[in-house]
Amino acid sequence: MLRIIESLGDLKGKRVLVRSDFNVPLKEGVITDDGRIRAALPTLTKLIEAGAKVIIMAHLGRPKGEVKPEFSLAPVATRLGELVDVPVSLAKDITGESARELAAALNEGEILLLENVRFDPRETSKVDAEREEMAAELAELADAFVSDGFGVVHRKQASVYDVAKKLPSASGLLVLKEIESLRKATDNPERPYAVVLGGSKVSDKLGVIANLLSKADILLIGGGMAFTFLKAQGYEVGKSLLEEDQVETVKGYIAEAAEKGVDLVLPVDVVVAPEFAKDATPTVVAADAIPADQMGLDIGPESQALYAAKIAGSKTVAWNGPMGVFEFENFANGTKAVAAALSEGECFSVVGGGDSAAAVRLLGFDEATFSHISTGGGASLELLEGKTLPGIAVLEG
């Protein structure tokens, strides 16, 4: 069982260190999607209303242990202040003089955001002692720790894992909701249980497929990874994305699915184009008739109808990865069809984070029509794979 905020006792006047996921997209210093900041609000509001002094840790981008101004959390501090309507100050460092002084001066119901934790190389160090040293410095700032950055719980990092061992710790509302929803879709799903997998590479999802062949009733494959499956069936895939070194592995999966009675569904038609471009001319061809000079960029209309029907007949559906190049309008229909089937269906639907969640927003779907949209692509994928997540294991018991 995950420890919850209530297990920390009375938080009035206490300094609570919160790990959030504020890795938001920026364009010329402006936040283009504040979804991750909004996702943190229920936990922050709960702590503020409890009279806590809130100190937030988060990362942005991949500064690789160096202080890089373009990865400063300043835009996040500004946007968070607008959303919570309480004072939000930004430290100039993570565990240095600025962080210590501002943490000591915090009043009840106020928020301090520490600067990007990944400016410190110890945060992501593979050396336990280095991470623990940073975690000890972070722990000195607070009386308790709340883990609420689901997008990083699969990482053994100082602000996620090590600090949880140095302070009374609990899961935040977002992490709790994520784990409950994903476990409902993976541990004991209402059947039929379908999993829709897309994205570019089979190699990214090998562990997931291996795990799901003993759990799922239906496995729907789309995206760039589908072409390695089609190649494994002996089809020509033209200039489509192909992982030649995975063909034999995929042949094994196809055989195992047949042996275990898993309904492994592959595209029956494909939208192809001569090049990877927004304005490339789309043509629909049968999956076994892809021209040598064309590349597949989406599943075709027959496949879209087939996948939608499979989803409609399922009680639980987990979706991770787009069906095509959804950023290009000509090749977005496959992803749109899957999203629509989930949105309109009566199944318990979980959308993995990353590109799947981005597609739902970009294509204009009402997020409330899905049972759960994850904020963590990698973390949700590892849960589908059956892995233990370090940042979750440390909060259990």
Q: Which positions are catalytic? A: 36, 201, 354, 378
Of 394, 322, 324, 328, which is closest to residue 358 (Cα–Cα)?
322
Q: Is 188 annotated as a binding residue?
A: no
- Whether residue 207 is annotated as binding a ligand: the answer is no
The reply to whether 59 sits in an annotated binding site is yes
Widest Cα–Cα separation across the chain: 68
Considering only CA atoms, give the Rg of the chain: 23
To the nearest 10°, the Cα dihedral for 257, 260, 263, 265? 0
Tokens of 113: 């955001």
How many C-beta neighbours within 10 Å does residue 302 have? Answer: 15
145 is known to lie in a ligand binding site: no
Q: Are 158 and 117 in contact (CB under 8 A)?
A: yes
Instruction: Establish whether 119 is an annotated binding residue.
Output: no
d(CA 266, CA 221): 5
- Is 23 labelled as part of a ligand binding site? yes
Cα separations in angstroms, 394 against 98, 130, 134, 245, 291? 29, 18, 17, 37, 52
155 is in an annotated binding site: yes
Q: Is 327 annotated as a binding residue?
A: yes
100 is in an annotated binding site: no
**36 belongs to an annotated ligand binding site:** yes
**Amino acid making up residue 253:** Y
354 assigned ligand-binding residue: yes
Which tokens in the block code for residue 230?
């089609």
Is 296 labeled as ligand-binding?
Answer: yes
Amino acid at 338: V
- φ/ψ of 171, rounded to 5, equals -85, 145
Annotation-wise, does 345 bind a ligand? no
Q: How many Å apart are CA 249 and CA 72, to the nearest integer?
A: 43
Q: Does 79 carry a binding-site annotation?
A: no
Name the pairing type of β-strands 283-286 and 269-273.
antiparallel
The annotation status of 353 as a binding-site residue, yes or no, is yes
Dist. CA 147–CA 317, nearest whole Å: 27
The span from the CA of 9 to the CA of 144, in Å, is 10
355 is in an annotated binding site: yes
Summarize the annotated binding site for substrate as residue ranges. 21-23, 36, 59-62, 118, 155
Residues making up the binding site: 21-23, 36, 59-62, 118, 155, 205, 296, 327, 353-356
Query: Which residues are annotated as part of the binding site for (2R)-3-phosphoglycerate?
Result: 36, 118, 155
